[in-house]
Amino acid sequence: MRAIRKALAVLAVVFFAAMAAHAEEKGSIKLTSLAETDTIVVNAKGEKEVKRVEAARAKVVPGDVVIYTTLYENVGKAPVTDAVINNPVPEHMLYVDNSAEGKGTRIEFSVDGGKTFGATNTLTMVDVKGKARPARPTDYTNIRWTMEKAIAPGASGGVSFKAKIE
């Protein structure tokens, strides 16, 4: 009896694994990450204007600000719910205060590499003397956007933040 139960459990695992394998082919969300920077260019009229270009195709040096945008699109046939986008602040970069945006999302931050998240005023760091202090924006290691509403099939949107190159 016990053996049968075990066998059933194994079968179930195999079944779910097969489901997962099927899902691997295509998910319901297409996720795109853009790294861009604002550069000042002179237009045909000789006026200076700000142009947003891919960071990879711009001259970027320490001190420059990069705008990270994550685009999502429901490419499936069913509505997507409880979507959570997580973006670590890249290495060599510091989060720019108040720069995270995302319409219809709850934005939270982490200072421990994404283990725990919280609102900006709830995060603390431990200073060199072992005393707790409020976390600064430059301490943030991860940003998390939690969608408040379902994403309908075909619907898309984006969230973004800015970070400065150290």
Q: Are 34 and 69 in contact (CB under 8 A)?
A: yes
105 part of the interface to another protein, by CB under 8 A: no
81 part of the interface to another protein, by CB under 8 A: yes
Of 6, 26, 103, 106, which one interacts with another protein (CB under 8 A)? Answer: 26
Of 109, 115, 85, the closest CA to residue 95 belongs to 109
Of 5, 43, 91, 115, which one interacts with another protein (CB under 8 A)? Answer: 91
Q: Site size for another protein, by CB under 8 A? A: 53
Q: How far is the CB of 142 from another protein (least distance, A)?
A: 10
Return d(Cα 58, Cα 61) in angstroms, integer: 10
Burial 141-157 (b: 16+ CB within 10 A, else e): ebbbbbbeeebeeeeeb
Return d(Cα 154, Cα 84) in angstroms, integer: 18
65 part of the interface to another protein, by CB under 8 A: no
Return d(Cα 110, Cα 127) in angstroms, integer: 16
106 part of the interface to another protein, by CB under 8 A: no
122 part of the interface to another protein, by CB under 8 A: no
Of 76, 99, 107, 120, which one interacts with another protein (CB under 8 A)? Answer: 76
Cα pseudo-dihedral 86, 90, 91, 94, rounded to 10: -110
115 part of the interface to another protein, by CB under 8 A: no
Contact residues toward another protein (CB under 8 A) are 20, 23-35, 54-63, 66, 68, 70-73, 75-76, 78-88, 90-94, 113, 138, 151, 165-166
